[in-house]
Amino acid sequence: MLTECSASEIHRRILAREVSCEEVVQAHLERIDAGNPKLNAFLCRTPDLALETARAVDARVAQGKELGPLAGVPVAIKDNISVPGAEVTCGSRILKGYRPIYGATVYERMLAAGLPCLGKTNMDEFAMGSSTEHSAFGATSNPWDLERVPGGSSGGSAAAVAAGLAPVALGSDTGGSVRQPAALCGIVGLKPTYGAVSRYGLVAFASSLDQIGPFGRTVEDCARLFDVIRGRDPKDSTSVDYPGRPGGADLSKDLTGLRVGVPEEMLGEGIDAQTRAAVQGAVRQLEKLGAKVGTAHLPHLKYSIATYYVIACAEASSNLARYDGIRYGLRTENAPDLSGLFENTRGEGFNPEVKRRIILGTYVLSSGYYDAYYLRAQKVRTLIRRDFLQAHADFDVLAGPVSPTSAFRKGEKSENPLEMYLADICTLSANLAGIPGLSMPCGFSNTGLPIGLQLLGRPFAESQLFNVAHCLERELGVASRRPAP
């Protein structure tokens, strides 16, 4: 079945004229129709856009023209990334009905490379969550167990790839929102180095932390999609001319002599025993492949959650001030005056989790508290970054868990926000430091749920992460396991 093929295999078959891109797109649109009602991974489909791109790819194949590394492979896009004419809701009532007239840079690059867009995927509202339960349009289910969460906030994209609704997908990662759902859904996900991928057209949550990243069923698929979207964009002043090697350049390079550090702070209290065992087993495989393994230290990691939620909420408070009922999106019908218009629109449009973070962010930025909270958090952020720089002076790659546990049940953490925040304890430090992080499946729990391994690298060393992950993927042999249809 076409929907069970990897992205690389689909691309090869299209080039060999064994199948047309239009047939590939149609197969995935039918798979979405059949599977999405139980998963709620897609908020909307874009069949016309997808088929238009597919026919253009087929025409180029027929003419014998050169094609990009993933041309013809359909992609799903998280609903906080702009696609022209397609609704962008960010999983929120406050943006219901908003249709941008421009496309995000990553979308334009995929379009130019011949990747058809299947549709927009579900997410925690404004990317604030770790379970994709905080969506105004219903929760997404994990394909491995429909009673469990797929992770968040990019849970729709991860679930779509894991279930075969899309070969590859895009998400955004502010504190783990690509890596954690990739781990919980048993696929590969990358949070690139800050600045490696343009954020133009990404609806902002926390601008100094947000990064768009790829999902794939295999490391190679993820690497190829990263190569399509990476690089400088004049429309995003934080993006750079990518100084690293292409993601797919060194996939099969020998790992002999690679220095792997295991941060002891990531395997301590709170990490589930099955998760710890799976991660340690993967590290042992790296040793068998020739890597030298040692213990790394990140002494300020314990402050990362507090630091992250001060900085992220402060930036969210500023970024989300634009949703006021005046310019676009929801406008309340209950507006006695201008102040009431602002208050009631935001009160009706935002969910409790978004309101919680806006209130917290506004507080830490307020007069009398700025130095005590926001300024101090930025200083601790510098210390966390220095910890990683020191660790990477001794080790090429750091390895640890992605999530403390495998996928938890829906509603299990909904009544305790702090417990939900702890789901990101292993991931958000990479966003604070601006370094790349990759999640890949490394085993399964006793109940058959995927467990993810996280690999953290030096800035712009994505190719090395893909290399390590690709070699380990072949040894572990878990990437071929897929959830039941």
Pairing of strands 259-263, 292-296: parallel
Which helix (H) or strand (E) element contains residue 277? helix 273-288
Give buried/exposed letters for 314-326 (b at 16+ CB in 10 A, else e): bbbbbbbeebbbe
Catalytic residue among 6, 8, 131, 177: 177
Q: Which residues contact 257 (CB under 8 A, 6 or more apart)?
A: 290, 291, 292
Average the pLDDT over 350-367 and give the result: 94
CB atoms < 10 A from the CB of 141, how many?
22
Predicted confidence (pLDDT) per residue in 307-325, tens digit: 999 999 999 999 999 999 8
245 vs 231: CA distance, rounded Å:
11
- Is 141 among the catalytic positions? no
Q: Would you state the pLDDT for residue 327? A: 83
Instruction: Indicate whether 485 pLDDT > 80.
Output: no
Pairing of strands 188-191, 437-444: antiparallel
Q: Would you state the pLDDT for residue 233? A: 98
CB atoms < 10 A from the CB of 390, how many?
14
Q: Which residues contact 431 (CB under 8 A, 6 or more apart)?
A: 173, 174, 175, 176, 191, 194, 209, 211, 308
State the average pLDDT for the chain: 96
Average the pLDDT over 276-293 and give the result: 98
Give buried/exposed letters for 353-384 (b at 16+ CB in 10 A, else e): bbeebbebbbebbeeeeeeebbeebeebbeeb
Q: Six-digit token pair at 46?
A: 């874009």
CB contact at 8 A, 436 and 467: no
Predicted confidence (pLDDT) per residue in 103-135, tens digit: 999 999 999 999 999 999 999 999 999 999 999
Percent of the chain surpassing pLDDT 90: 91
Average the pLDDT over 185-200 and give the result: 98
Q: Would you state the pLDDT for residue 206? A: 97
Catalytic residue among 6, 135, 153, 445: 153
463 vs 465: CA distance, rounded Å:
5
Instruction: Indicate whether 173 pLDDT > 90.
Output: yes
Q: 3-class DSSP state for residue 29?
A: helix
Q: Which of these, 100, 226, 202, lies nearest to 154 by C-alpha position?
A: 202
Q: Which of these, 88, 166, 133, lies nearest to 414 by C-alpha position?
A: 133
Predicted confidence (pLDDT) per residue in 459-468, tens digit: 999 999 999 9
- Is 177 among the catalytic positions? yes
Q: Would you state the pLDDT for residue 392? A: 98
Domains of the chain by start residue, with CATH: 2-251 (3.90.1300.10)
Q: Which of these, 263, 141, 153, 163, lies nearest to 213 by C-alpha position?
A: 153
- Is 252 among the catalytic positions? no
Instruction: Indicate whether 328 pLDDT > 90.
Output: no
Instruction: Indicate whether 189 pLDDT > 80.
Output: yes
